[in-house]
Amino acid sequence: LHTPPTPWLESAIQTAPHCPVRFSAVSDHTAAAWRHVVPAATVVRNGIDTRRWHYGPGGEGLVWSGRIVPEKGAHLAIEAARLAGRGLRLAGPVGDTEYFEACVRPRLDRTITYAGHLSQPELCELVGSSAAAVVTPCWDEPYGLVIAEALACGTPVCGFARGALPEIVTGDCARLVPPGDCAALAKVVEPTIGLSRADARRHAEAFCSMEVMTRNYERFYRSVSE
C-alpha cells in the first residue's frame, strides 16, 4: 500500500467476503489510512540505495526536489526560503505546467532557481551540496522518498509535519513544523542547517536504506509462508 485509499482499490479488496491477501504498507500513516478495509497491514518502509545517494559536503543554499505539482508545494518552499534569507534551488519534473507557470516561474530570480529535471547522479550532487532540504507537502505524503534521499546525502531536512514525514525523521536530522506554516518553516531553517550531516547520513543508513527495507520484506515474506 503506497497510495491513499481510493474507491476502485477498496472495492477490489472487498470483492471476496474474506480477502486472502496479506498486505504491507510503506508507513504507519498509510497503514492507518487503509485500516477500514485492511485491518492489519505490515509496515515495511521504503528504502533507497545509499551507495548511489552518497554523502555530500553541504553548502550555503537550500534545496527542494520532487514533482512540481500543487500537492508538493514548491511555491511554499520558495516563500519559506525568502523569509529565511537563503537561496533555494529547485529540481524535478514539471508535472503540472499551469501550476509551474503560475506559481513557480514568476517567483524565480537570482537566488531562487530551477535546475530542471535532473538525472539521479546530478540530483545527488545538488542535494549533497546544499545546506538543508526543504519538504513542503500540501497533501498527506504516504512516505516521502525525497527525505530519505536528502538524509543519505547528509543533508538535514526541514519541512511540514504531514502524512508519514514525522515517522521518517528524528530531531537529530530534521525539524518539522505545522503544515502550511511558512513563517514557522523559515524560523527552523538555521537550526536545521546546524544539525549534524553525519547524523543525517547515519539515520538514512539505519532507517531508510535498501538493505533495511530488504530485510524487512524478507521477514514479512517468511511470515506469510509460515
pLDDT tens figures, 62-113: 999 999 999 999 999 999 999 999 999 999 999 999 999 999 999 999 999 9
Give the HSE-up count for residue 156: Cα atoms under 13 Å, Cβ half-sphere.
22
Find, among 112, 107, 60, the residue nearest to 91 by Cα: 112
CA distances from 66 to 24, 31, 50, 71, 125 (A): 24, 23, 18, 11, 15
Q: Domains along the chain?
A: 7-47+209-225 (no CATH), 62-207 (3.40.50.2000)
In whole angstroms, give the CA distance from residue 127 to residue 7: 37
pTM (2 decimals)? 0.94
pLDDT surpasses 90 at 115: yes
Read off the pLDDT of residues 45-71 as tens digits, 9 standing for 90 and up: 999 999 999 999 999 999 999 999 999
- pLDDT at 33 (0 to 100): 95
Q: Name which residue leads in pLDDT, 205 or 20.
A: 205
**Which secondary-structure segment (H or E) carries 211?**
helix 210-225
Q: What is the pLDDT of residue 101?
A: 98
pLDDT of amino acid 8: 87
* Residue-level pLDDT at 157: 98
Q: Binning pLDDT at 50, 70 and 90, where does residue 140 land?
A: very high
Of the candidates 110, 149, 150, 111, the residue with the CA atom closest to the CA atom of residue 130: 150
Determine the residue type at 144: G
Tens-place pLDDT, residues 158-176: 999 999 999 999 999 999 9
φ, ψ at 210 (rounded to 5°)? -60, -35
Listing DSSP states for 95-135 in one string gives S-HHHIIIIIGGG--SSEEE--S--HHHHHHHHHTSSEEEE
Mean pLDDT of the chain, nearest integer:
96
pLDDT reported for residue 86:
97
Q: Is 186:80 a contact under the CB 8 Å cutoff? A: yes
Query: Is 177 strand, coil or helix?
Result: strand
> Residue 16: is its pLDDT beyond 80?
no
